[in-house]
Amino acid sequence: MKSKIVTVYRLKNEEKWIKKSLESVLSFCDSVVILDNNSTDNTVKICKDFLNVNVIEQPNLPFDEARDRNTLLQKALELKPDYILSMDGDEILMPNSKEILEEELEILYPNSNVFTFQFLYMWDKFNQYRYDGVYENIWQQRLFKTSNQPENLKIFESNYSGNIHCSSIPNNAIGQKFPIRSNVKILHYGYFDDHLRQQKFHFYNELTPNNEEQDMYRHIISGDGKHSGPHGMEFKLLPESLCYENL
């Protein structure tokens, strides 16, 4: 790929998925910047085994997602990339992403500033994703072009404790009103099994208790609540060529 792409991650205890995630982005990006939030598993060791991966080991600070993402943003900008891609450690780009993204950035939309990606929430089986309620159509802006942007690019604080659910790209980046919907899909494994779902459910509710907007995150552990579909949980299957069987 002609364009220089830097991918950023903020991580904590993502040893289960991070190897495959890094492999999926390093197939086309030039380098990766990782901010590790005091992982106690093998996350840092796995990351350091890759070339072109810079790991920032942050001390055990109070949770602040916006602070961490702004740190990553500045470190990535120092590398003078054409684009910055933001990923989480439990996310893996779908196979074929390199060819799709190269065509989009170099041929189809070379003048576009922001790209948004659809998320598929993998659920219990490696080829199965949830497809009801909010899960049917989740898109996030994760890639932006660094040229012709404001000098003071910044990710703003959110309305939640710990600035959770803040933006993954700078809020003042140009192009967010008319992003390109990429054909690249991001496979999300953070809710893959019941243990992970329970863990995330309790984490969110402890950080932002009685969060009515998120319906107390009931959709994570059940098919109930306003964010689930009218018939409870529903699922679809991916063909083998578009998923990862052995993680």
Using one digit for the tens of pLDDT, what is the confidence trace for 23-59?
Answer: 999 999 999 999 999 999 999 999 999 999 999 999 8
Q: Note the pTM of the prediction, 2 decimals.
A: 0.97
User: Would you state the structure tokens that stand for residue 127, as one six-digit string?
Assistant: 């080829």
Q: Which residues pair with 5 in a beta bridge?
A: 83
CA-to-CA distance for 188 and 154, rounded, in angstroms? 25
* Residue ranges of domains in the chain, CATH in brackets: 5-242 (3.90.550)
60 pLDDT above the threshold of 90? no
Q: Which residues pair with 9 in a beta bridge?
A: 34, 87
What pLDDT is stored for residue 246 in this prediction? 81
